[in-house]
């Protein structure tokens, strides 16, 4: 069950609290990089590259006057009618569609073990999912849950832990709402030296030889 409290601001909502409970979620205590498996070390390297590329893209939006820093940090979400689970647009999600998706898809292509690579803000809002998870809505909830996951608020325990963590990296094991058992490795994303969100990579554990 998810508990969400919103404050209405005109036609938008300001998310003030999100708490979620998952079927299974386990956050690994703070680890040193040397204690990571070879696969985890590879994913950490990719997550850091991912975070840095996203940071540069977002800071360029501000630098080029495409969105203000105030709007980036305003946490205003505009409900998209007729969506379940609820989807939201923002004052900048179109920029994420343009600039972030191709970055995330590039990271996704680096390993067959990666199930997703996403940028989320501090509330777990995901503005532009990988292309494979951003297919047109069909109206069939079972199909859309898997094939159209973009612009959702992933405010479950794992999602919020990743989005809000300020540690160098966070490693979590959990069950997705699709039933898949996943490992989630996240790295904080800062925009002009302010904590903005996180770069998350979800992957399956594979043998070292694979």
- The residues spanned by each domain of the chain are 22-203
Provide the 10 A C-beta neighbour count for residue 15. 20
Q: DSSP letter at 23?
A: S
3-state secondary structure 64-129: CCCCCHHHHCCCEEEEECCCCCCEEECCCHHHHHHHHHHHHHHHHCCCCCEEEEEEEECCCECCCC
Which among 118, 132, 102 is positioned nearest to 189, based on CA atoms? 118
What pLDDT is attached to residue 180?
Answer: 76
Which among 136, 40, 137, 127 is positioned nearest to 83, based on CA atoms? 137
Which among 105, 85, 86, 107 is positioned nearest to 97, based on CA atoms? 105
pLDDT along the chain (210 residues), means of 10: 45 47 50 89 98 98 98 96 94 98 98 97 98 94 93 94 97 82 95 98 78
Which among 203, 132, 140, 144 is positioned nearest to 174, based on CA atoms? 203
What pLDDT is attached to residue 2?
Answer: 40
What pLDDT is attached to residue 200?
Answer: 98
Cis bond upstream, residue 85 (ω within 30): yes
Distance of CA 40 to the CA centre of its chain: 18
Provide the CATH number for the domain formed by 22-203 in this structure: 3.30.450.20
Rounded Cα distance between 166 and 189, Å, is: 9
Rounded Cα distance between 128 and 168, Å, is: 24
Contact 205, 84 (CB under 8 A): no
What pLDDT is attached to residue 102?
Answer: 97
What pLDDT is attached to residue 5?
Answer: 45
What pLDDT is attached to residue 69?
Answer: 97
Q: Could you tell me the two tokens for 115?
A: 């199930």
Which among 165, 133, 163, 174 is positioned nearest to 151, based on CA atoms? 133
């Amino acid at each position: 069950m998810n508990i969400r409290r919103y404050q209405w601001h005109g036609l938008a909502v300001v998310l003030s609290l999100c708490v979620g409970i998952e079927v299974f979620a386990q956050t690994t205590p703070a680890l040193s990089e040397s204690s990571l498996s070879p696969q985890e070390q590879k994913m950490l390297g990719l997550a850091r590259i991912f975070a840095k590329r996203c940071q540069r893209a977002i800071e360029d939006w501000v630098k080029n006057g495409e969105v203000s820093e105030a709007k980036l940090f305003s946490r205003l979400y505009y409900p998209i009618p007729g969506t379940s689970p609820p989807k939201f647009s923002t004052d900048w999600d179109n920029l994420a569609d343009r600039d972030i998706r191709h970055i995330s898809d590039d990271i996704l292509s680096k390993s067959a073990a990666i199930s997703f690579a996403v940028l989320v803000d501090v509330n777990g809002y995901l503005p532009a999912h990988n292309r494979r998870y951003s297919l047109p809505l069909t109206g069939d909830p079972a199909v859309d849950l898997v094939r159209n996951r973009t612009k959702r608020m992933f405010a479950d325990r794992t999602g919020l832990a990743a989005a809000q963590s300020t540690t160098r990296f966070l490693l979590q094991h959990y069950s997705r709402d699709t039933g898949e058992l996943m490992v989630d490795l996240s790295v904080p994303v800062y925009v002009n030296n302010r904590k903005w969100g996180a770069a998350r990579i979800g992957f399956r554990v594979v043998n070292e030889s694979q």
